[in-house]
Amino acid sequence: MGATGGPVWGRVEQQDFRSRVRGALLGAAVGDALGAPVDGLGIEEIRAAHGPDGVVDLAAAYGRRGAVTHLTQLTLFTVDGLIRAQVRRDTGARHPPTDLRRAYLRWAATQRDWGPDLRRKEDGWLAHEEWLHARRDPTRTLLLGLGDEVMGTLDAPKSPGVAGPEVLPRSVPFGLLVGWEPARRAARRRVRGADPRPPDGVPLGGRVRRHRARAGLRRES
């Protein structure tokens, strides 16, 4: 962390941080897989299909048990873009919005191509993971917004009025950054081309409670 003027981490601190990052990503993916089979269902529909306690184990979605949705895909490609931006920062050549934009273009390719193109070495290992090449119900607006070469800006945002959960997997990974100056917020806005607040104005805590209720994890009093 010397490049940012902060304390230098030892081996133990680095391993602990990496473990926490992996745990956060794994936990998000598991939660996504648990919710995938009941996405869009009401609480009574969920209980009718899975019992009074709702979803308590992985169930079938997208033709298999434990499948994740496009939200996990977006989370992984957001992290991929942030890692590349961090590496470029350390080399003295960086533009985080561009690195993230390219990461989303790689995600968009997984939604239209039959499989990874191993000849494209610059895509990196994540885009070469064949299991990610599957369309998991992303909205048409999302596909169009992240699949073209035009990058949104504060002056010309892309789809600023669209409401949906996609804001979370594309914003939460920024919390994994350590020692990056507040300018990352401006970079995030430029990449998303919209206000970073949740489109529906619901705080994160409210969203968690709402999704828990949808999954039938909270009983009626």
- Enter the pTM of the model: 0.74
| Alpha carbons 66 and 46: distance in angstroms, whole number | 17
Q: Is 60 within the bounds of a domain?
A: yes
Degrees to nearest 5, angle at CA 152 with 68 and 111: 30
pLDDT digits (tens, 9 = 90+) for 189-216: 544 444 443 333 333 333 433 443 344 4
H helices within 38-174, ranges in order? 43-50, 70-90, 96-110, 124-127, 140-147
- 81 in the same domain as 20: no
pLDDT digits (tens, 9 = 90+) for 106-133: 999 999 998 998 888 989 999 999 999 9
Residue 134 CA, chain-centre distance (Å), reads 15
> Domain total for the chain?
2
| Alpha carbons 66 and 216: distance in angstroms, whole number | 17
Which of residues 67, 90, 114 is at a domain's end? 67
- 175 in the same domain as 104: yes
pLDDT for 71: 94
- 45 in the same domain as 147: no
| Maximum average pLDDT range among 1-5, 9-13, 112-116, 176-180 | 112-116
Q: Is 205 within the bounds of a domain?
A: no
Residue 75 has pLDDT above 90, yes or no: yes
Q: Is 99 within the bounds of a domain?
A: yes
Sign of the dihedral defined by the CA atoms of residues 129, 134, 137, 140, in that order: positive
Q: Is 201 within the bounds of a domain?
A: no
Q: Is 79 within the bounds of a domain?
A: yes
pLDDT for 206: 39
Residue 46 has pLDDT above 90, yes or no: yes
CA distances for 214 relative to 22, 103, 211, angstroms: 26, 31, 5
Q: Is 49 within the bounds of a domain?
A: yes
Domain range enclosing 51: 11-67
